[in-house]
Amino acid sequence: MSTLAEVAPSAAVTEVELTYREAINAALEDEMAADDAVVLLGEDVQADGGVFKTNIGLVEKFGTARVRSTPICENGFLGVALGMSLTGLRPVVEIMFSDFLPTAGDAIVNQLPKYRYMSGGQFAVPVTIRSISGALGRFGTQHSATGESWFMSLPGLRVVTASSPGAAYELLRASIRDNNPVIFHEHKAMYGRKGIVRRGAVAGGAWQGRGAPRRPRRDDRRDAADGGAGPRGRRGVGGGRHQRRGHRPALDPAAGRANGRGVTRKDRPACRGRGAGSRRWLGCDADLGTHHGGPGLAKCAVRREPALRPADPVQPPAGGRDHPVRGQDRRGGARRHGSMTTAAGVGAAAGHGFDANSLIIERVETIALRAPLARRFSGSAYSMDNRCTIVVRITTADGLVSETYSGDTDDEQALILDIIHRELAPAIIGRSARDPEGAWAAMEPATNNILRDRGLALQAIAALDTAIWDVFGRALGQPLYRIWGAVTDDLPISVIGGYYHLDLPETADLIRHYVEMGFAGVKFKVGGRTPAEDAERVLVAREAAGPGFALMVDANQGYDRAQAVDFGRRVADLNLRWFEEPCRWTNDRRWMRDVRYQTGIPVCAGQSEFTLRGLRDLIVDGAIDVSNFDASWAGGPTIWRKAAGLCAAFGVELGHHEEPQVASHLLASSPNHTFVECFDEERDPFFWKLTSMSSRISNGRYRLGDGPGFAIELDWDYVRAHTVDTRVTER
């Protein structure tokens, strides 16, 4: 009978990048090579590497005696596997879909986990059941179950699932070597994901598979990601120092995404960061780990892969000398005076003169701007000849005046102005700007007109909501990102470019120019040509930018699903930070989910959703890794901050579509932020000429100021030169 002691030692450990599918195949190959007692059986495991191509090359290398295809009879061939294990073999049984595990219920519930106990420990049952689970595109309801929880309460049975290729390789090898029956779940959507695999390693820690089961100790309840899974005195896989579960560092994307226990994981280079996104939420299988059931079984140690991250650090650490709240400035400057405002600080400031009669809105002024562009800018299915925006000046009885601008609508600009002055201004005049939520509720009825595009009313509300928050910040004398709870005072900044009027050499020159200007990355336009042509353009951009420059692509809903997947596979090796709005609106949520799963590239979307329920559905359907929900389209900062909370609940990262003058404050107060973005001067003269904000860009980062509110100071000569409409509504 094969035992762990008789298994040949593993070869030297080498690190290689494999997909999840390849990691499963490598684990099977290495265990079958190390121990002649390991056999593989299941439906169609001999044919072309199996249905999911995890068994490629095994029958050719080990022969049909050790790789056996079976009839469609799960309970039958699991019974055969039990007999094999009792005669000294270590069978690995593939159940093609976890939906069919219940058909083998007698073997799984009554035979495999009980035989060792029934024999008084005289027999081991080293049977590994590989079960493929989860929903994915073409599979029906009866082939899409996630059965990880079905058998967790059974004594004597281990249940394992791995959240990365590295964990899958080591845990599958450990499962095969274990002397207890193990169900090893493989999610279909993980098969295409890439990661670093320590070829030759086997998961260790508490799970060693030797001898009889023992009573669990208190230490076994520690999570493996804490570096302490396993019995007292041992370490989990990875060997990191144990951190007690009570230790919860603040969420810090620069240091790595926090796991479900609140403990931040170590980082790794961005070039290894492809996959279904840092969220790891596939269907309903968030943050997959390992579990066991029943008394006396130790929890399995899990090798967790480092968190995915953008190419540029997203924000400073949440505490210590590098935090913007205290200590030295990161650039070596003197210690800042005055900490960022906390909730208590806002309350204290509000106590100085804030009462029911404070900040009463008396006047609403709008100034519509239009700046003709030097050329037509074309994306996948749209073009732009002008840059437009609306300046809003709200005046209160206290003499405070907002100075904000938002929105970029051209053709409908007059309609938005009508809504502001005919419906919204009368609703907020006489109200206090110290209650932005109340003001928003007073404006909300404008969205209920079913004969009008609801998005126009939300853009109008957004313009006033932004101005009301600006007044609120000016009254407190603090920038809004601090009032909202600052996590940083500078952000990585990317530029939007790569339009179709450029040929390939011009594209390369433009990208090099962006690098020289001090941007951290570029969001590059695709979706307007064939996947092959766009992939060639992106390759030119990557070669011009170099490996350290973040590269995102934006199809503006230009592809159908097949085209988006085709494009994603063509650029799979170019280290894309994300793929934005890859699919057309007709079925975008489901198609974007498929793009995530089939290409392994994180997906970004949300700008075209202007309601919270729309963003919610994107997240719940598993369509996105990054949200670029746009405050200027969706009702303003009041709604965007609710969207940020929704994203935080699901582990979705945050961006923002354009509007850096507002987005920078929103993102700087959100722990899971990514990049603030802008256009270059040719595409958006307002960011570069209407204010001085462009001067805050340096070394890939955008520095927020200390001025109150949004700290926008307009160049009034430039305003007057581009004004096309001015309106006032007052008390």
Catalytic residues: 74, 143
Question: Packing angle between helix 436-443 and helix 637-650, nearest 10 degrees?
Answer: 100
Selection from 261, 326, 341, 310 nearest residue 673 by Cα = 310
Tracing tokens 């609940």 back to the chain, one arrives at: 649
Q: Which helix (H) or strand (E) holds 128?
A: strand 128-133
Tokens of 6: 């008789």
Rama region for 714: left / alpha / beta (φ>0; ψ in -120 to 50; rest): beta
Which among 572, 543, 567 has a CA at the least distance from the CA of 555? 567
Tell me if 386 sits within 8 A of 429, measured CB to CB.
no
The dihedral formed by the CA atoms of 631, 637, 643 and 644, expressed in degrees to the nearest 10:
110
**Burial grade of 277 (CB within 10 A; 0-12, 13-18, 19 or more):** buried
Q: What are phi and psi for residue 81, nearest 5 degrees?
A: -60, -40
DSSP code string of 134-199: S--TT--GGG----TTTTTT-TT-EEEE-SSHHHHHHHHHHHHH-SS-EEEEEEGGGTT-EEEEEE
- Give dist(CA 236, CA 348) in Å, integer: 47
DSSP 667-727: HHT-TTB--EEEE-TTT-HIIIIISSGGGGEETTEEE--SSSBT-----HHHHHHTEEEEE
Question: Tell me, what DSSP letter sits at residue 446?
Answer: G
Instruction: Please give the torsion angle defined by the CA atoms of residues 406, 408, 414 and 417, in that order, rounded to the nearest 10 degrees.
Output: -10
